[in-house]
Chains A and B, each alone.
Chain A
Amino acid sequence: MELRRKLLKGGVSATLLAPLLGAGLLTPGRVLASEWKRSAFTAQNAADALTRLGVAASAESREIEFKAPEIAENGGKVEIEILCKLPNTRSLLIIAEKNPMPLCAELNFNGKALPYARVQLKLAETMRIRAVARTADGRNHVAFREIKVTLGGCGG
């Protein structure tokens, strides 16, 4: 039952992929790059999601420019925009604190990509959104925005 649930919930476990790796049908880089971080994404609160991603304390930073509407009439599509001005930002995490599964997205920036993103979220209710930026020195930085939602977005 548990296995079936896992398969239904999407993706294939590493155990199932292992024989394919051995047979040379999949290259390890490809598998690693695309393995969805299930335990973090299915965590039911922000603290667990961050722990499962290995993110310890984050310092609040004014160098993260975070634009979000104060009020969202439709929680089904709420656009937020994040620009991190800290040097060597490698990734951004977007966390909707009161969603049933708070971790919304992890974005990793390579090459000449700027640590910038505009993303559309579903928000279940009025809540605080957290943007966590991870820099190459291993530090984590955070910024918050409160969004008031008049019509929740998880049912629709």
Chain B
Amino acid sequence: MSEPIRIRAQLQGEIADIRVLMHHPMETGQRRDESGKPVPVHFIQTFSVKLNGQALIDGQLNTSISRNPLFAFKAGGIKAGDKLSVQWTDNTGAQRQDEITVG
């Protein structure tokens, strides 16, 4: 089981700053481990950020995104009590979804 996605939303007037940290190895498939064995490619391919179930951001990623990547986004129309959720799917089919209530 993967670690939870860390989601934070900070309201700054009309616009909210959204920060998302996805725990994932984001392996390129080009690296070798200590014993010289190739480390299989393993990375997040798609993700989405939703506000109260409605799409805000849909993204597609490549192996060139950093390990445990941190993303920041901005959106209007977010208020305290709203639900902000993030979901990702990686190349092995593994998925993770987490949700916060905006404070």
* Chain A residues within CB distance 8 Å of chain B: 8-12, 33-37, 41, 76-79, 81, 96, 99-101, 103-114, 116-123, 153-156
Contact = CB atoms under 8 A, between A and B. Distances in A.
Interface in B35-69: 40-41, 43, 45-46, 48-49, 51, 54-67, 69
Task: Choose among B49, B62, B71 the residue with the greatest number of A CB atoms under 10 Å from its CB.
Answer: B62
The 6 closest A-B pairs by CB, nearest first: A10-B91, A118-B72, A120-B66, A112-B77, A112-B76, A36-B45
Contact of B31 (A35, A79, A112, A155): A155
Nearest to B29: A9
25 contacts: A10-B41, A10-B43, A10-B90, A77-B67, A101-B63, A101-B64, A103-B62, A104-B65, A105-B59, A105-B62, A106-B59, A107-B57, A107-B58, A108-B59, A113-B75, A114-B15, A114-B74, A114-B75, A116-B72, A116-B73, A120-B66, A120-B71, A121-B64, A122-B26, A156-B31
Contacts of A113: 49, 56-57, 73-75
Secondary structure at the B interface, as helix, strand, loop or mixed, is: strand
Nearest to B90: A10
Given A76-B66, A121-B66, A105 B61 contact: yes
Contacts of A122: 26, 28, 63-66
Nearest to A153: B66
Given A9-B91, A114-B15, A122-B28, A77 B56 contact: no
Interface of B: 15, 26, 28, 30-31, 40-41, 43, 45-46, 48-49, 51, 54-67, 69-78, 89-93
A117 B66 contact: no
Contacts of A111: 51, 54-56, 75, 77
B62 A110 contact: no
Contacts of B90: 10
Contacts of B31: 155-156
Contacts of A9: 41, 91
A92 to B, nearest CB: 9
A36 B66 contact: no
Given A35-B46, A111-B51, A113-B74, 18 more contacts: A10-B92, A33-B48, A36-B46, A104-B61, A105-B61, A109-B57, A110-B54, A110-B55, A111-B56, A112-B51, A112-B77, A113-B75, A114-B76, A116-B73, A119-B65, A120-B70, A153-B66, A155-B31
